[in-house]
Amino acid sequence: MPELPEVETARRVLEEHALGRRIIDVDDSDTYECRPHRPGDIRAALVGRRLTTAHRRGKSMWCETSGAGRSRTPGPLLGLHLGMSGKVVVIDPDGQEIDGGDYWDRGRQPGDLRFTRFALTFSDGGRLVLLDPRRLGRVRLDPDIDGLGPDAAEITWDEFRALMGRGSAPVKARLLDQSALAGVGNLLADQALWQARVDPRRPVEGLTRPMVRRLHDAVRASIQAAVAGGGVHTLAVVPYRKAGARCPRCGAAMQRGTVGGRTTWWCSREQR
């Protein structure tokens, strides 16, 4: 599932290539991806407007829109959620394609738009499309983001220390709680806990201050590494999340279990 780094790459594609272009048509005919809106609702709300700013908190992404025509009254927010396999593609009038979002094992060949679930057409002939093979993404006007916790890429030390200072939940479960910390998914959590040498099963109330400090630093560093590398699949511990693998740092056996309802891997020696 796309985690914060994949969504950030998609946001950057929107910011660099889709803003300021006037929308002349919208394909919102996929009633599942665009629920609860009816076909034509999003089109009616967006035609004549421009995307003006691209935002992200955790795994949620949305764009502000301009007034229609000469109106200075801003339009609705356009929420784009990538689901488990989504990516955005901006197609320029000359056919050049720029995409960002989920990593697909087999990649995507230019011109392959089979999984288009939503699209904007710009007045210059370009397009913005949301590709989603599993059809688990979401397009929504004025999405609700109030229930999300602080963004994992921006959370301060004081906020993180407060988050990890109370309760009996396993630390990995707390990292995955989007209402507490927005953006950390399964692979990113395993990487940060491995990097910080923290047992994912340890209750948050049992974390020492040095552990919390290391984990805060590791979350931030893991996000930066994943964005730079092209996604969470590029993180150091990910290839070793399998039976028979050994920790790439100390050589001890990697251990598997379920924490917070998710398959979890950790170093049997250093994360105890």
Q: Where are the domains of the chain?
A: 4-141, 157-267
Per-residue pLDDT, 84: 84
Average pLDDT over residues 229-240: 94
Confidence of residue 2 (pLDDT cuts 50, 70, 90): confident
* Of 22, 161, 262, 269, catalytic: 262
* Of 3, 6, 8, 33, catalytic: 3
Per-residue pLDDT, 1: 57
Known catalytic residue: 110? no
pTM of the model: 0.91
Average pLDDT over residues 133-146: 94
Kindly state which CATH superfamily the domain 4-141 is placed in: MutM-like, N-terminal (3.20.190.10)
pLDDT in tens, 183-222: 999 999 999 999 999 999 999 999 999 999 999 999 999 9
pLDDT in tens, 86-109: 999 999 999 999 999 988 877 888
What percent of the chain lies above the pLDDT cut of 70? 100
pLDDT in tens, 49-90: 999 999 999 999 999 999 988 888 999 999 999 998 899 999
Which residues 6+ apart lie within 8 Å of 178 measured at CB? Answer: 58, 59, 147, 148, 149
Q: How many degrees, rounded to 5, is the angle at CA 110 between CA 106 and CA 112? A: 75
* Of 49, 50, 57, 59, catalytic: 59
Known catalytic residue: 59? yes
Contact 121, 26 (CB under 8 A): yes
Per-residue pLDDT, 69: 81
Known catalytic residue: 210? no
What is the C-alpha to C-alpha distance for residues 178 and 258, in angstroms, rounded to an integer? 18
Q: Is it true that domain 157-267 has CATH number 3.40.50.620?
A: no
